[in-house]
Amino acid sequence: MSLQAYPSIVQVPLVGFLSWLVPGLGHILLGHRTRGLVCMVTIIATFWCGVAIGSVQGTVAPHYRKLWFVAQLGTGGNTLAAYALHLAVSPESAKSSKPVLVSHWMSAEVGVHYTGVAGLLNLLVILDAMARSEPFKAGGRRRRQLSRGFP
């Protein structure tokens, strides 16, 4: 499946959405396989390492950590999966606006930083994928740069 065949008006939002859902997927479908795989593995590993460090109850808590949750939403598919796990494990703490005492505060803080940074990094990846997908923006020198090096 390649996205190159789609008109740019469809391609740009589609690439953005796919990159948001699964980090790096937009790059892979645009033909930048290595770049997409590197981003995918790094962002997914960072996010789930953060969840493993701080526990899903302590890190992905939209009512208690609102702003961090917004940052985590940058990597949409992972955050939604983690929130679904949180709801399955402990539905009352998922909707609580008080801190969840399942982990030491230090573990939870480190986990939140990992997941938040993963979300913000994916924001960069989404914007990069959208910039690469738009044919008229990738003209001239930029197009030559993009087609060189990374496959």
Partner 1 sequence: MTAMLASLFTTAMELSGRQRFFLMLPLCLSIAIVYKAIRNDSMQRFPIGVLTLWVTIVMGLVAVGGGLWVLFRIMV
Residues that bind partner 1 (CB under 8 A): 34-35, 38-39, 42-43, 45-46, 48-49, 51-58, 82, 85, 89, 102-104, 106-108, 110-111, 113-114, 117-118, 121, 124-125, 128, 145-146, 148-151
CA atoms within 13 A on the CB side of 55: 17
Q: Which residue do the tokens 């499946």 mark?
A: 1
Which of 3, 125 has the CB closer to partner 1? 125
Min CB(52)–partner 1 separation in Å = 6
In the complex with partner 1, which residue's Cβ is closer, 46 or 72? 46
In the bound complex, what is the minimum distance in angstroms from residue 14's beta carbon to partner 1? 19
Q: Is 66 or 143 the residue whose CB approaches partner 1 more closely?
A: 143
- Please say whether the beta carbons of 65 and 112 come within 8 A: yes
d(CA 1, CA 142): 24
Helix residue ranges per DSSP H, 73-134: 76-89, 91-94, 105-133
